[in-house]
């Protein structure tokens, strides 16, 4: 398996590493995958005024998965919450040089991000404006 220098750097010093409590309160969370599936990701974010103020992850996965989580959370920080839905695996694949056979793992990341967004939406509905201002 080949790893690009970017993957290696993120693996060694992961950024935006979270924890179950790290972003509470104002936290939304998405989870996808499992140990059995070989990849398991939790994405957590704090949303303020429709912006992703902080994005964190936890992961059980291969180096590419970990690097993808790092880079994605970096990129999402400060973006409108809707960006959680605009995850583009191709962009990551290019940026980090992720081999094609890892595509399935990026889909799990995508699912986690989507669940995160769904959680925000649900939360937004439930708490009506508590986290949102759109």
Partner 1 sequence: MELPVYLDNASTTPLDPRVADAMVRCLRSRDGFGNPSTDTHELGRKAQAQVEAARDQVAALINATGGEIIWTSGATESDNLALIGAASYRRVRGRHLVTSATEHKAVLSTCRHLEQQGFRVTYLEPDRNGLIAPKAVKAAIASDTILVSIMHANNEIGVVQDVAGIGAVCREADVLFHVDAAQSAGRLPLDVQRQCIDLLSVTAHKLYGPKGIGALFLNRQRLRRIEPLMHGGAQERGLRPGTLPTHQIVGMGEAFELAARAMDQDTARIASLRDRLWDGIRTVPGVTLNGHPQRRLCSILCVSVGGVEGESLIFGLRDLAVTSGAACNSATDEPSYVLRSLGRSDQLAHSSIRFSLGRFTTSEEVDFAAASFRQAVDHLHGMLPDRHAIATG
Closest by Cα among 69, 53, 60 to 14: 69
* Minimum CB distance to partner 1, residue 30 (Å): 11
According to the binding rule CB under 8 A, does residue 11 interact with partner 1? yes
Per CB under 8 A, the list member of 4, 22, 38, 79 interacting with partner 1 is 38
* Interface positions, 39-68, toward partner 1 (CB under 8 A): 39-42, 58-63, 65-66
**Structural contact between residues 52 and 120, judged by C-beta atoms closer than 8 angstroms:** no
We find the least distance from the C-beta atom of residue 82 to partner 1, in angstroms, to be: 25
Residues 90-119 that bind partner 1 (CB under 8 A): 101
CB of 114 to partner 1, least distance (A): 17
Total count of residues recorded for the chain = 134
The Cα 56–Cα 44 span in angstroms is 5
Q: Which is nearer to partner 1, 66 or 124 (CB)?
A: 66
What are the distances in angstroms from CA 87 to CA 72, 107, 111, 126? 8, 10, 10, 25
- Scanning the chain, the segments in alpha helix (DSSP H) are 5-12, 63-76, 89-96, 103-127
Query: Can you give the binding site for partner 1, defined by CB under 8 A?
Result: 1, 3, 11, 14, 17, 20, 31, 35-36, 38-42, 58-63, 65-66, 101
């Amino acid at each position: 398996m080949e790893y690009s220098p970017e993957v290696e750097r993120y693996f060694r010093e992961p950024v935006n590493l979270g924890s179950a409590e790290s972003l509470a309160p104002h936290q939304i969370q998405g989870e996808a995958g499992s140990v059995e599936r070989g990849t398991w990701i939790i994405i957590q974010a704090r949303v303020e005024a429709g912006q992703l103020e902080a994005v964190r992850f936890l992961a059980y996965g291969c180096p590419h998965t970990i690097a993808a989580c790092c880079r994605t959370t970096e990129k999402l920080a400060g973006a409108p919450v809707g960006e959680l839905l605009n995850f583009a695996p191709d962009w990551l694949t290019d940026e980090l040089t992720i081999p094609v056979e890892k595509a399935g793992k990026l889909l799990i990341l995508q699912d986690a991000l989507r669940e995160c967004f769904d959680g925000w939406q649900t939360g937004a509905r439930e708490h009506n404006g508590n986290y949102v201002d759109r």
